[in-house]
Amino acid sequence: MVRSDRDTQLTRIQVFAAFLQRISAAKWFVAVETATVILVLFVLSRADVGIMDLVGISGLERRWTLLGAFVAILAFPVIRGMQATIVRLVASDVLLLGICGLAALSILWSPLPTATFPEVVALGLTIVVAAYLAARFDARTLAVLLFTAMVMAAALSMLATFTQPELGRHEGGPHLGIPRGLYEHKNVLGLTMGIGAVPGTLLVLDGLIHRRRWTIPATVGLALIIAALWMSDSRMAQVSYAFSLMVTLGFSLLRRGPDRLAEIAGGALGVIPPGLTGLLVSGVIMPMSTLFGRGHTMFARLEIWSAVFDVLGKRYWLGLGFESFWVDGAPTRQTVETTVGWEVPTAHNGYIEIILGIGLIGLLLFSAHLVRTCIASARLAQRTRRLATLGPIMILALIVAINLAESHLLEPGSLLLATYLVCSFWTSPKHGRYGRPQEGL
């Protein structure tokens, strides 16, 4: 019996699929995948900029290292045949698709469409990478990988600070001499260490409770991260980490109560920060600035917010184009800097940053997504009652707090956005591991 060309082609595809399956099951492949994920998380934290400075590489734009990181990590779900799982996970999140679609449409009205387009592409790639991480790894593995990457960043930041102060410390301005490690600013170092402290705290607590063998190295790594967080002198990052600890303690106590109470608390965690931002911008809390004066960093932000809304004008519904407001040389940025009298790289508020890019419609979509994620995280913590299931709540508490004064909430290719999306996907009912108590610490 002569086989048709179609049958032959199908046989070749089946053989190739079986070959890829054998490769993905090999120990060396798993080891390479694990190392790649750690390095990509390291790059997402923006530590690659400092590494290039340390080794003397200059002139390479970060967008190319970020693109290389995305290409490297996305090869693994292709080899594992996870495309359908990732598509299903992303497609089930209608709010997230709406945010991404609005960002893509903003190219049409952006004053700098050539700047907006690559940011939209980076946003899409960040979403796909986060979906892969959430679908591929359970809570314990995700915590260990993220913690390992952040311990690396903390150790190298310490090395840069004390061995090459011209690279590891601020050399001018109001932050003269303050350590920044591998990062372009001390606040980015503080934010990164705050994110790393979350899985570190959970791993150490789990090790102490269950007498795990990793307790001592995890404690040393957490101490290193906390030291780098303190060294950064980023008060907002320090306060946000402390806030995340208090929120986590509160939710651990709520586990003894009714599920509805935990869900209400989770919803409040998502609603209050955007609401507080609205009060600040509207001027309700403006008189408090007189207690601190113009020079105080927190309330100097009020001047920035007033200036950016003057520039935004009546285009607040759809914004001025995703990630285009603060491009170097952009008229919008120049106007704000002229008004306030100093260099302003961001709005110093993640919620306002969303309005500038994709307007109030974008902020409403994201706020709805945030509230839904917080409620789902609270529900998951109640359902499984495992230590690891407090991780999403702890991460979310840190994210919503720090973005009251920093602008990383919807930043493409950032570690903060990736961790937020992982929490969102991991707590989704569409996730294959949702609610499984055996998956975690």
pLDDT at res. 289? 46
The three-class DSSP label of residue 212 is coil
Query: What does each C-alpha distance from 3 to 8, 9, 12, 40, 313 come to in angstroms?
Result: 7, 10, 13, 46, 69
The three-class DSSP label of residue 45 is coil
pLDDT at res. 300? 73
E-only strand ranges, 9-124: none
pLDDT at res. 282? 61
pLDDT at res. 281? 62
Q: Hunting for tokens 């990630």 — which residue is that?
A: 323
Provide the token pair at 322: 């995703």
Q: In angstroms, how far apart are the furthest CA atoms of the chain?
A: 90
Percentage helix, strand, coil for the chain under 3-state DSSP, each rounded to 5: 75, 0, 25
Q: Are 55 and 165 in contact (CB under 8 A)?
A: no
pLDDT at res. 298? 57
Amino acid at 6: R
pLDDT at res. 269? 84
Residue 22 Rama label (left phi>0; alpha psi -120 to 50; beta): alpha
Its pTM surpasses 0.85: yes
Q: Are 96 and 424 in contact (CB under 8 A)?
A: yes
Angle between helical axes of 259-282 and 235-254 (0-180°, round to 10): 150
Strand partners, 179: 169
CA dist., res. 113 & res. 100, Å (int): 16
Q: Are 357 and 106 in contact (CB under 8 A)?
A: yes
DSSP 278-337: HHHHHTSSGGGGGGT-TT-HHHHHHHHHHHHHHHHTT-TTT-S-TT-TTSTT-HHHHHHH
CA dist., res. 262 & res. 276, Å (int): 21
CA dist., res. 92 & res. 440, Å (int): 24
Q: ∠65-66-68 over CA atoms, to 5°?
A: 65
DSSP 123-147: HHHHHHHHHHHHHH--HHHHHHHHH
pLDDT at res. 16? 62
Q: Are 351 and 272 in contact (CB under 8 A)?
A: no
Residue spans of the chain under pLDDT 50: 1-2, 285-296, 434-440
Q: Are 344 and 335 in contact (CB under 8 A)?
A: no
Q: Are 20 and 79 in contact (CB under 8 A)?
A: yes
